[in-house]
Structure 1
Amino acid sequence: MTMPVIELREVSRRYDDGPPALYGASLTVRRGEAVAILGPSGSGKSTLLNLIAGLDRPDSGTVTVDGLRVDRLSEAGLALYRRSKIGMVFQFFNLLDDLTVADNVALPARLAGMARGVADRRAAVLLELLGIDRHARAYPGRLSGGERQRVAVARALMNRPPLLLADEPTGALDTAAGQDVSRLLTDLNAEGQTIVVVTHDLALARSCTNRTVRIADGRITEDVVRSQAVGSEAVR
């Protein structure tokens, strides 16, 4: 059995004096899986994503990603972790409007210390792979929503992260562009990329992942793996 990319053990997180945003969550994601985290607003799915991404710390429990105890890292260690271990795709792209598409994609590698020429060549390869190389010298504001999300995915893959996290990646897109991004995620997973998609959109979850984890009121309530056979499911 392959080594887990994500291991959460009895993770809880509470904010202020309210009920726990996440309570006793345990989750294992293995290399090459594509997993959808489903739940309504306020269910705890964003908290779960933030804990995996090292953007927040649990009150209790452990968070391990690619063999690294994320919950034990210093702030400097977390910055390095986010640079090298994960790629993140957001609902609203988070591209820098004053940089070209190519420079946006190359930025994570440049921040990691990669030589400019090497970073530029890697960015060019990704832009071609994702079908947007013709926009390399354009600025993000000139692109459609679907094209900007492809740029965001290319940027997330720049440092070859073992884990790609997507937070409502089609939430700001129209139907056609959303389907385009869904197919892109499917293709990336087919090539071996481990992907976790946080969404409230069941159609997106079914189209680009083969496992759904449902969260309600801060608790994981269901974990279902769909096999290749249509309609075949197994509850973990």
Structure 2
Amino acid sequence: MTTPVIELRDVSRRYDEGPPALRDVSLTVHAGEAVAVLGPSGSGKSTMLNLIAGLDRPDTGTVTVAGKRVDGLGEAASARYRRAEIGMVFQFFNLLDDLTVTDNIVLPAQLAGMARGEASRRAAELLDTLGITRHARAYPGRLSGGERQRVAVARALMNRPALLLADEPTGALDTASGEDVSALLTELNADGQTIVVVTHDLALARSCTRRTIQLVDGRIAGDVVAEPEPTR
């Protein structure tokens, strides 16, 4: 068995005096898996995502991603870790409106110190793969929601991350654009990309992942792997 991409061991996190956001959570995700983390507001989904991304630290337990202990990293090391190992896609895109599509996509490579020529080639490859080459010189504000989310996915994949984290990636999209993004995530996973989708949308989870983690009150209440559909 290969080294897990994600390994949480007995992780707990509490904020202020309220109940724990996560309670003794253990979870393993291997390379090539597509996993949906489901649950209502307050179930611990966002806390889990932030811990995996190194944006927060657990009170107890360990968080290991791509072989690296994330829970003990300092601020600068956490930033380097995210640039190298994590791609993040958000509900509201988080694109910079004063930069072109290409400049938005290249930004993570610039921050990581990638050579300009290599970054340009990688951006062109992603623009082509994601079907948005015609928008390379456009500004995000001129694009549809689905197109902007494709740009956000391209940016997230720029540094070839071990893990793609998608936080409610279709939450701000209409039905057709949401289905388009769901299909894109399915294609990326089929090509080997490890993906974790954090969502409350069961339909999204079913369409682009095979494994679903159900969180309730900070605990894992279910961990189900769907059987593959029979070939015809």
1:176 has 2:173 as partner? no
The Cα RMSD (Å) is 0.7
Residue 116 of structure 1: how far off its partner (Å): 1.8
| Letter paired with 2:21 | A
Are 2:133 and 1:133 equivalent residues in the alignment?
Answer: yes
- 1:117 is displaced (CA, Å) by 2.2
Whether 2:157 is the aligned partner of 1:194: answer: no
**1:107 aligned partner, one-letter code:** L
Structure 1 residue matching 2:24: 3-state secondary structure: strand
The sequence identity of aligned pairs, in percent, is 79
In structure 2, what is the Cα distance between the partners aligned to 1:186 and 1:2? 22
Verify: 1:83 aligned to 2:83, yes or no: yes
SS in 1 for 2:27: strand
1:115 deviation in Å? 1.8
Shift of 1:180: 0.1
Secondary structure of the residue aligned to 2:57 is coil
The Cα offsets for residues 19-41 of structure 1, whole Å up to 9 and x where unpaired, read as 00111000000000000000001
CA offset at residue 75 of structure 1?
0.9
How far is 1:229 from its partner? Answer: 3.5
Deviates more, 1:220-229 or 1:103-112: 220-229
Is 2:218 the counterpart of 1:218?
yes
Q: 2:125 corresponds to which letter in structure 1?
A: V
TM-score relative to the length of structure 1: 0.96
The letter for the 1-side match of 2:105 is V
How far has the Cα of 1:174 moved from its partner? 0.2
The one-letter amino acid paired with 2:225 is V
Please state how far the C-alpha of 1:120 moved relative to its aligned partner: 1.4
Tell me if 1:63 matches 2:63: yes
In the alignment, the residues of structure 2 paired with residue 117 and residue 99 of structure 1 have an alpha-carbon distance, to the nearest angstrom, of: 19
Query: Are residues 1:29 and 2:25 paired?
Result: no
TM-score, normalised relative to structure 2: 0.98
Q: Deviations over 1:5-29 (max 9, x none)?
A: 0000000000000000111000000
**Cα distance in 1, alignment partners of residues 177 and 30 from structure 2:** 29
Kindly provide the amino acid, as one letter, of the partner of residue 73 in structure 2.
L
Amino acid at match of 1:214: Q
Instruction: Give the distance between the partners of 1:178 and 1:105, measured in 2 at CA.
Output: 21
Give the structure 2 partner of residue 38 of structure 1: 38
Q: Deviations over 1:88-137 (max 9, x none)?
A: 00000000001000000000001101122221121111011000010000
Q: Distance in 2 between matches of 1:86 and 1:62?
A: 18
Whether 1:206 aligns to 2:211 is no
Gaps of 5+ in 1: 231-236
